């Protein structure tokens, strides 16, 4: 459990196997207020929490994935913790989820999440992601298994 005073961010790297290799689900977010208003950033789906879920990053992951992507992680699925960082003001947790462990349909419309606009998530390859991903998400990308992903 996370100490009550801490906030945390939980995100998922959803992977699916295709004939051309693995694809990953990402989305563009755009801030509408503050100094970064209008800036678009490529991110993995996820969100912040604190006490609401009793300090349970996986529970937050499951709700954020469904809210932001339209996919629901199956109850019996076990997301794999790829990376965690507890050194800053916000603890960060990144999980690997295989698409076969999700049900539902990908969200196709813009949504507002507070002061952020979330564009529909898209499937893309690592080459595209590497040069564009938000810096706080890069450490998780580096933790993907190098020998391929088990399915």
pLDDT tens, position by position, 79-119: 999 999 988 888 999 999 999 999 999 999 999 988 999 99
pLDDT tens, position by position, 34-55: 998 999 999 999 998 865 555 7
Query: How do the residues of the chain divide into helix, strand and coil, expressed in percent and rounded to 5?
Result: 20, 40, 40
DSSP bridge partners of 57: none
pLDDT tens, position by position, 120-145: 999 999 999 998 999 999 999 889 88
Does residue 4 register a pLDDT over 80?
no
Among the listed residues 2, 50, 25, 32, the one whose alpha carbon sits nearest the alpha carbon of residue 111: 32
Topology, domain 7-142: Nucleoside Triphosphate Pyrophosphohydrolase (3.90.79)
Per-residue pLDDT, 151: 45
Q: Where in the chain are the domains?
A: 7-142
Per-residue pLDDT, 114: 87
Among the listed residues 132, 126, 89, the one whose alpha carbon sits nearest the alpha carbon of residue 2: 89
Q: What's the pLDDT band for 5 if we cut at 50, 70, 90?
A: low
């Amino acid at each position: 459990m996370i100490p009550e005073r801490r906030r945390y961010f939980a995100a998922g790297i959803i992977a699916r196997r295709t004939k051309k290799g693995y694809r990953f689900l990402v989305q563009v977010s755009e801030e509408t207020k503050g100094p970064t208003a209008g800036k678009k950033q490529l991110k993995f789906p996820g969100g912040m929490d604190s006490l609401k879920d009793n300090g349970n990053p996986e529970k937050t992951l499951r709700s954020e994935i469904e809210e932001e992507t339209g996919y629901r992680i199956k109850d019996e699925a076990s997301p794999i913790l790829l990376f965690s960082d507890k050194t800053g003001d916000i603890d960060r947790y990144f999980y690997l989820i295989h698409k076969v462990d999700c049900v539902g349909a990908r969200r196709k419309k813009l949504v507002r999440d507070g002061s952020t606009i979330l564009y529909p998530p898209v499937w893309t390859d690592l080459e595209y992601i590497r040069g564009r991903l938000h810096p706080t998400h890069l450490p998780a990308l580096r933790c993907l298994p190098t020998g391929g992903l088990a399915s």
